[in-house]
Amino acid sequence: MGIHKFFTSLNDLERIIRCPGRFKFEEHNVAAHSWKVSQYAMFFGTLEEMNGTTIDWKSLYEKTINHDFAEVFIGDIKTPVKHASPELKQMLAHVEEKMMEKFIVSEIPEEFQGIFFDRMKEGKDATTEGRLLEFADKLDQFYEAFAELKRGNTDLEFVYMYQTALEKLLRIPLPTSVAYFKEVMLADVIAEETQIDIYSLTHEIINKA
Amino acid sequence: MGIHKFFTSLNDLERIIRCPGRFKFEEHNVAAHSWKVSQYAMFFGTLEEMNGTTIDWKSLYEKTINHDFAEVFIGDIKTPVKHASPELKQMLAHVEEKMMEKFIVSEIPEEFQGIFFDRMKEGKDATTEGRLLEFADKLDQFYEAFAELKRGNTDLEFVYMYQTALEKLLRIPLPTSVAYFKEVMLADVIAEETQIDIYSLTHEIINKA
Amino acid sequence: MGIHKFFTSLNDLERIIRCPGRFKFEEHNVAAHSWKVSQYAMFFGTLEEMNGTTIDWKSLYEKTINHDFAEVFIGDIKTPVKHASPELKQMLAHVEEKMMEKFIVSEIPEEFQGIFFDRMKEGKDATTEGRLLEFADKLDQFYEAFAELKRGNTDLEFVYMYQTALEKLLRIPLPTSVAYFKEVMLADVIAEETQIDIYSLTHEIINKA
Amino acid sequence: MGIHKFFTSLNDLERIIRCPGRFKFEEHNVAAHSWKVSQYAMFFGTLEEMNGTTIDWKSLYEKTINHDFAEVFIGDIKTPVKHASPELKQMLAHVEEKMMEKFIVSEIPEEFQGIFFDRMKEGKDATTEGRLLEFADKLDQFYEAFAELKRGNTDLEFVYMYQTALEKLLRIPLPTSVAYFKEVMLADVIAEETQIDIYSLTHEIINKA
Amino acid sequence: MGIHKFFTSLNDLERIIRCPGRFKFEEHNVAAHSWKVSQYAMFFGTLEEMNGTTIDWKSLYEKTINHDFAEVFIGDIKTPVKHASPELKQMLAHVEEKMMEKFIVSEIPEEFQGIFFDRMKEGKDATTEGRLLEFADKLDQFYEAFAELKRGNTDLEFVYMYQTALEKLLRIPLPTSVAYFKEVMLADVIAEETQIDIYSLTHEIINKA
Amino acid sequence: MGIHKFFTSLNDLERIIRCPGRFKFEEHNVAAHSWKVSQYAMFFGTLEEMNGTTIDWKSLYEKTINHDFAEVFIGDIKTPVKHASPELKQMLAHVEEKMMEKFIVSEIPEEFQGIFFDRMKEGKDATTEGRLLEFADKLDQFYEAFAELKRGNTDLEFVYMYQTALEKLLRIPLPTSVAYFKEVMLADVIAEETQIDIYSLTHEIINKA
């Protein structure tokens, strides 16, 4: 086939639902998630740049746009599975890579294969752009959990997801972004009227950090 | 916790969608699938019994009711992933087993743990009941693909799923059931008015078998 | 036709929604409900057996798998209608029986008709298995109502459904199962964080019983 | 309570799905159906009036708006059940009437009860307005079936529904409306591009009539 | 084409969702909304008539049935857009009118065009019927917002929508209807068990009025 | 508020459905659409760059990510409305701009306002990046229509949308991209098995171009 096959496969990501199997008041698909991650990255990339960091914008946007494309092949495997053992995590990563490789070789026109290999590889590296991807990805998990708790979802999974995402956000080595999130954004978050006590859930983590 | 936690986890299987990420006119969840598999097993178990085979009914029904419970932990991992390599398949099976074990030890009251370990283990063994489970499980895949093709789904995935399920059904070592399926049921299947040419898709496989 | 028609009719039960017409945060279909009822029956059958009762497992599982099949013909008629008058209830039961009979005679191959007549008849009789079916069926109603209240559904229908199911569960003549439900499970139920005051709703009924 | 209870019960009809349990590409609720029936009635009432018939418009609109309100109490009972026996049909009608009566007496303020009793009674009588209601109600069934067949639904239920609605429409004693439907509208209907052969399905019935 | 085209366009209003883009626990379509508005108008028209006002029932019902038909052409444009400037509001009204005109001229048979022009024009005029339409339309907005708040929707949009609808209802020049709504219905509304504090939201507005 | 308000508004675009009011086998939201447009732009930007054009990647990705953000304020106004008159189109564009301005001034922290004004303005200008945005945006419309026709949607709206998007794509002043689309991709598109005759619909337009 060719790039037409690649383009139609994008549509599949509109049907991969995040956090499958849990009760949610609102579901999110991986395509829309990828877009929101790009938006968060645009903002925090700007913030970092204003504070003197050099941003490779092409790399940043390609990382955010492509970071979950591999879910076309493997779906949204549940997080506890992924973290069940380091060997499994590594093996799943390996399978993902192999399936991506096979897809690129069989569907992408030869002259584009090099570029695709480069773009589709794991984006969360130690570069500023890799960290911004990690930050933006976690921020979307934070917001997904927040929206459920706000609407009254009492499933402990979302309490846990909210607190885990918060903890991880506070530890990402991007001091400017983390400070802005912690000092400016969290103030607005905990000021919202919510069904679940967001203030306490949030402070419990901040105090531990 | 206790059995209450186990019972509420059953609800999760109503939200695990089969064949995630593909376009379907109708979606099916794992809970409803498990029920249909039990129904098919009831019929083919009866057929086999009428033809002189002894059926351990308790075992047969428990196999069908429980065969996909582990998807609570791992979700519906895409088939190509599962079959990407024998090592991965084995490792995923291992992880599944470990997560089930951990769940049973932490959630099931001690006096029931032995029984749960026994019931939740892989059911598709070489016993007649294990084969009937395999047959019934494949039959549901056959019917899911058939319904999509009948309604005009042109996604090649469902053509492939229909033919693969058919091929596998014809090879399961249950001669009476297979003969009934092939001679009685398929005649009704290919007589239906469908948007896709079911007659050809079916005969292509039968002729190869 | 034949058994193919019966098998495709199973799919219809995935589209019959329980408790039609009420606002629910999550809907349940009759196929998935039947599976959950089989799971509850598996547990309570085991519990009763451990306490010395003999269980006819084949009968128990067939009762649970088949108990709502007739909804294929009549849909999920609202409970208040069914109980509007004893004559209507009897007449609806009669119609249901006649439609099932007609279906079996016209769709099920002759050699299986006897078995189907036997399996599809009303399962909630005075046997232990009949009582376990009744218990498991009510337990699913209890859990459906509980999940709605937990998530903040203020429709009085679900308060009423929760309390009615609870009342009935406590009165089913299966002392071991009822005691386990009341002493072990309810403790976990009322300990959950819920939007509605489950503790009071539950104790109000327990104190009356 | 009072009229507030009546008003909130209207919302329930947005959740009663027509033709429950069948596979449909698009579902319709009873509230939206009632509105479409009012629209059809507006047109055919106008047509009849232009041809010299006197129309009691207040009665016509109240009949169409109210004709399915009773489904709040009984849901959408499957047609084969309703027609299983004349006794059952009569008894169901009786129950419906009693539940409506009970609702009016307990929820509607006393000064409005007489008016409500009058408005909520069966509307399909032998008056011109009763016939227009019957015509408009059947026309919506005709259109619902047509839309499914057009999109490729091969379920025989919809073929049967299409032909039955057509047959009944042609026999309603409103010669002007029937002629307009048959001569003007059907020409447009069979000229549409459809997945199923609408031309033949339609002519088969017209030729029999 | 002809009236067939008009009739199939009614189906489109079942897919136009009210208040698009906001999170809602339950969505409402324009067809069902139009039906509920007709029901409210039936009640308040009766109330006004009982108090001595003459009601033109044909006009009242046609106003309610047709008041949102133009959304077939323009969709449900967000309220803030509509009110962004008087010029835009006027221009949108003009476009709507032109599209309706074009539709009537090209789809409606000539002999019915005059009647359709008359029926489809803006219904919220200064007649009693126009005011009843306005009252009934706002009442549905009030109930839609109420249902969301009752179920725990904390989106400020619905708080604002609830209070705005309430304010406007209290000011419509139909003293009998407004008094009944304020004195009889609101008492029942604020007595309901709700997730959000309806009592305060309501009294804040009543006290200001 | 601040950036928190902006981030939560992104979620609203997951609920704005494209092409509202038409029957579709699959719906698409504006967030997922924006992501697919970014993916198409990544490919065609690469293709143009390989052919010697200089691409401002930061600008290209920001254009694609932001191009429909304004739908948060105005929703997805139906295309025929937008094109009803040049004055209306201009006035709607003006309102959109004003609402965006008001949003930026009230929600975006002052130090970011300049950047937001720049990013959120209309992206389809005469630069290469503006043309790539136009190309990618039309390509998604092409694919949305194609998928409906492939699955058997006979609504003429989608035939028209498919042909209009195709026509426009062929005329965008990006010769390399257009040639690749026409010569490479269309060959794969018309080779697919579809319910509707895609080959003819496509050639009719190509031959006219």
pLDDT tens, residue by residue, B161-186 = 999 999 999 999 999 999 999 999 99
Going by C-alpha positions, the residue among F170, F154, F178, F153 that lies closest to residue F205 is F170
Residue of A nearest to B20 (CA): A16
Cα B120 to Cα B205: distance, rounded to the nearest angstrom? 34
Positive/negative CA dihedral, A197, A202, A203, A205 = positive
Locate C105 and state its tokens: 């005679």
DSSP letter for each residue of chain F: --HHHHHHHHHHTTS-BSSTTS--SS--BHHHHHHHHHHHHHHHHHHHHHTT----HHHHHHHHHHTTTTHHHH----HHHHTS-HHHHHHHHHHHHHHHHHHHHHHS-HHHHHHHHHHHS----SSHHHHHHHHHHHHHHHHHHHHHHHTT---HHHHHHHHHHHHHHHHSS-HHHHHHIIIIIHHHHHHS--SS-HHHHHHHHHHH-
**How close are the terminal C-alpha atoms of chain F, in Å?**
51
In chain A, which residues have their Cβ closer than 8 Å to the Cβ of F7? 39-40, 43, 139, 143, 185
Range with the poorest average pLDDT among B17-21, F80-84, F128-132: F80-84
Confidence label for D147 from pLDDT (cuts 50, 70 and 90)? very high
| Most confident stretch, A109-118, C124-133, D118-127, F84-93 | C124-133
pLDDT (tens digit per residue) in B7-29: 999 999 999 999 989 999 999 99
Largest CA distance in chain C: 55
Residue of F nearest to E82 (CA): F74
Q: b/e for F98-119, b at 16 or more Cβ within 10 A?
A: ebbeebbeebbeeebeebbeeb
Quick check: do D and B touch, 3+ CB pairs under 8 A?
yes
Going by C-alpha positions, the residue among E188, E182, E177, E189 that lies closest to residue E209 is E182
* Nearest-10 Cα torsion for A149, A152, A155, A157: -10
**Mean pLDDT on C137-166:** 96
pLDDT (tens digit per residue) in A157-173: 999 999 999 999 999 99
Cα B158 to Cα B147: distance, rounded to the nearest angstrom? 10
- Read off the pTM: 0.95
**Mean pLDDT on C103-120:** 90
Instruction: Flag if F65 and A42 touch (Cβ within 8 Å).
Output: yes
| Most confident stretch, A89-98, B135-144, D109-118 | B135-144
Q: What is the ipTM of this complex?
A: 0.95
pLDDT (tens digit per residue) in A165-194: 999 999 999 999 999 999 999 999 999 988
Measured in angstroms, the CA of C87 and the nearest CA of chain B are apart by 32
Q: Of F39, F185, F189, which has the smallest distance from its Cβ to A65's Cβ?
A: F39
What subunits make at least 3 CB pairs under 8 angstroms with B?
Answer: A, C, D, F
Read off φ and ψ for residue F22, nearest 5 degrees.
Answer: -95, 150
To the question of domain E4-206 being in CATH 1.10.3210.10, the answer is: yes
**Mean pLDDT on F178-198:** 93
- Kindly list the domain boundaries of chain E, sorted by start residue: 4-206
Checking if the pLDDT of F40 tops 70, the result is yes
Checking if the pLDDT of E1 tops 70, the result is no
In chain A, which residues have their Cβ closer than 8 Å to the Cβ of F2? 184-185, 188
Residue E163: alpha-carbon gap to chain centroid: 16
Amino acid at D125: D
In chain B, which residues have their Cβ closer than 8 Å to the Cβ of A91? 87-88, 91
Checking if the pLDDT of E82 tops 80, the result is no
Angle subtended by helix axes B30-50 and C57-66, to nearest 10: 130
Residues in a beta bridge with F17 = F29
Interface of D with F (CB under 8 A): 25-26, 147, 150-152, 192-195
Instruction: Flag if B81 and A99 touch (Cβ within 8 Å).
Output: yes
